[in-house]
């Protein structure tokens, strides 16, 4: 039941999202997102959902830096990520 609620919550938050598959995203790496004007409307904020490695699942908030957003991957090993507009 708890996992179902989490997946429902994640689906709502990621109504506008982009799924990326990558090989071994490691902790400490910095990821960048340069959204187009459709994604930045209405004071949107962005997050990354990391999953699929040996470290489980993790949400990371992105911070604005000029015309792009950035986030540092937390310690661990991940194989997939989803950029989410919230």
Model confidence, pTM? 0.71
pLDDT, position 71:
96
Distance of CA 10 to the CA centre of its chain: 11
Are 81 and 50 a contacting pair, CB within 8 Å? yes
pLDDT, position 13:
45
Q: What is the edge-to-edge ordering of all strands in the sheet holding 16-26? A: 16-26, 77-85, 46-53, 56-61
Burial class of 48 by CB neighbour count within 10 A (0 to 12, 13 to 18, 19+): buried
Tell which wins on pLDDT, 28 or 9.
28
Q: pLDDT class for 84, splitting at 50, 70, 90?
A: very high
Neighbouring residues of 21: CB distance < 8 A, sequence distance ≥ 6 = 79, 80
The mean per-residue pLDDT over the stretch 27-55 comes to: 89
pLDDT, position 18:
55
The mean per-residue pLDDT over the stretch 25-32 comes to: 87
Neighbouring residues of 23: CB distance < 8 A, sequence distance ≥ 6 = 79
Q: Return the minimum-mean-pLDDT range out of 36-40, 58-62, 82-86.
A: 36-40
């Amino acid at each position: 039941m708890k996992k179902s609620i989490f997946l429902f919550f994640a689906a709502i938050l990621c109504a506008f999202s982009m799924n990326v598959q990558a090989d071994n995203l490691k902790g400490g790496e910095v990821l960048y997102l340069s959204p187009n004007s459709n994604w930045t409307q209405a004071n949107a904020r962005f997050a990354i959902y990391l999953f699929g490695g040996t470290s489980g699942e993790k949400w990371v908030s992105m911070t604005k830096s000029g015309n792009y957003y950035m986030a540092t991957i937390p310690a661990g090993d991940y194989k997939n990520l989803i950029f989410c507009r919230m």
